[in-house]
Amino acid sequence: MIIFTDKCNVFTLSFKIMKKEIVDILVIGAGPSGSVSSAYLNKNGINVKVVEKSKFPRYQIGESLIPRCMDNFEEAGLLEALKLQDYQVKSGARFIRGEKDKGVFDFGKKHGEGWDWTWQVPRDHFDNVLITEAQKQGVQVDFETEVIDIQFNGTDSITTVKNAQGELKEIEAKFVIDSSGYGRVVASKLGLEAPSQLAEHGSIFTQIKDVRRPEGSEGTLITFEVLAPEVWFWYIPFSNGNTSVGFVGPMEWINSFEGSTTAIFEEMLKKATHYYDQFKDLPLLFEPYKVENIAKNVTKLYGDGFVLTGNSAEFLDPIFSSGVSFATESGILAAKLALKQAQGEDVDWQVDFVDYIKKGVDVFTSYVKEWYNGNLQEIIFHDKENVEIKKQICAVLAGYVWDNTNPFVKKHNRLIRNVAQLVAMEKTMDPADS
Ligand SMILES: Cc1cc2nc3c(=O)[nH]c(=O)nc-3n(C[C@H](O)[C@H](O)[C@H](O)COP(=O)(O)OP(=O)(O)OC[C@H]3O[C@@H](n4cnc5c(N)ncnc54)[C@H](O)[C@@H]3O)c2cc1C
């Protein structure tokens, strides 16, 4: 305690000496992106620390994975711990529209190489397994520790964190991987937030104890029920008997409902004709969350001393469940490049990180746009199924969006549109084929 005195006043200043810590690499956020990057760095001998604002387990949305993320969990050394958990296996996905039931994709029948299954997971449990395994392997994690400031000085940085007791600490790091998801720590600090090029969609979602779940694949297969061209419902059953349910649509549609999010959800549920009877009158496990303007973007993905991964950088749309896959793809790639840099090698972040991630994001962006403008739905729900086209689209839905042997990857910006036009022409020539 220090006491200053002058003629008429006595000022008392009380302060605590701020703790300091030095690490090689600081990871912000213990979601899937932060877990894979920290585990990868740790197993390659880097002194890495994760700071996480929440106490785990904590709820998170994003429960349907796609097969590509299995490669990333494997490379990070986290897959075996996940395999012990008995999560609901996801070996495909289904899109339905009205009475039609044609959009069933089986990842075992996709174009090219790669995983043909993954899981549907309650993210509170799943994310906790990931970060606990990373800790077991030696990653230092401070939970309930929020980043409140970062100052960059060239490539060095000082990050100020605050723990649950309100204590402050400064962490010096030679490099920061920002995996803070919707927290978007570095993007907001450095003013990097940018508007998305995608339409403004919102979502309402919760979980329900699925006591009327049907037997067989009807009760286990993730399903997207199309209610209108831009409005859809998701059904993501878990192995614990609960099911994640949610609606996505333009903000205009979301805002056309009034009342509590429970009242809104119940009103929306009446429109999901395929699932209404299964869920009507069942209690919701929690008051539904509402997310507005889902898509996020940034002006740049890296800078002196930092890189942005996962949702802290960009998020497109939930329709193809690509979030965790991109979060882990960018997390593991950032870790590999940061390791190279720590070992004294030159890294071209633009070419090796941004251009690579952008290539995959561009493919999914085309699919999201072509889904909402109706072209992709025309192909998926077409009566006459083309087996080869379906295989190629299936590989994209599995997350293999860097495989240029797939025409639906290589020519993503025009092939869907062209095929949709052919489907429309076929329908004009044969009106019975709707
Ligand atoms: C409606 C909706 C549906 C979705 N559905 C899917 C889906 O089916 N499949 C899919 O793959 N993805 C889906 N997503 C996307 C998914 O939620 C994310 O892509 C995914 O969680 C990103 O992982 P992450 O590791 O980047 O971030 P997160 O999982 O968000 O983890 C970031 C962590 O950083 C922590 N953090 C934040 N701020 C700070 C701070 N200041 N200091 C310290 N820590 C901090 C947070 O507490 C959090 O634990 C959906 C998204 C929405 C909005």
pLDDT tens-digit series, residues 33-43: 999 999 999 99
Task: Say what the pLDDT of residue 4 is.
Answer: 38
* Nearest C-alpha neighbor of 231 from the set 105, 317, 123: 317
Could you give the C-alpha distances from 76 to 37, 39, 228, 281, in angstroms and in order? 7, 6, 40, 43
* Nearest C-alpha neighbor of 158 from the set 271, 42, 19: 19
Task: Say what the pLDDT of residue 6 is.
Answer: 40
pLDDT band at 18 (very low <50, low <70, confident <90, very high): confident
Least confident of 62-66, 300-304, 310-314, 398-402: 310-314
% of residues, the chain, pLDDT over 70: 94
Residue 182 C-alpha to ligand 1 middle, in angstroms? 6
The answer to whether residues 301 and 186 touch, using CB atoms and an 8 Å cutoff, is no
Atom of ligand 1 nearest to the CA of 322: 11
In the numeric block, which tokens belong to residue 43? Answer: 């197993």
When pLDDT is averaged across residues 316-331 and rounded to a whole number, the result is 94
CB of 181 closer than 6 A to ligand 1?
Answer: yes
Task: Say what the pLDDT of residue 9 is.
Answer: 42
% of residues, the chain, pLDDT over 90: 85
Residues 6+ apart with CB under 8 A from 71: 114, 115
The answer to whether residues 52 and 131 touch, using CB atoms and an 8 Å cutoff, is yes
In whole angstroms, give the CA distance from residue 395 to residue 399: 7
Task: Say what the pLDDT of residue 428 is.
Answer: 82
Atom of ligand 1 nearest to the CA of 66: 11
The pLDDT mean for the chain works out to 93
CB of 51 closer than 6 A to ligand 1?
Answer: yes
In the chain the domains, ranked by start, together with CATH numbers, are: 19-71+121-194+295-363 (3.50.50.60), 201-291 (3.30.9.100)
Q: Inform me whether the pLDDT recorded for 11 exceeds 70.
A: no
pLDDT band at 12 (very low <50, low <70, confident <90, very high): very low
Residue 355 C-alpha to ligand 1 middle, in angstroms? 22
CB of 310 closer than 6 A to ligand 1?
Answer: yes
Closest residue by Cα to atom 13, ligand 1, is: 62
Evaluated on CA atoms 207, 213, 218, 221, the torsion sign reads: positive
* Each residue's pLDDT tens digit, 73-100: 999 999 999 999 999 999 999 999 986 6
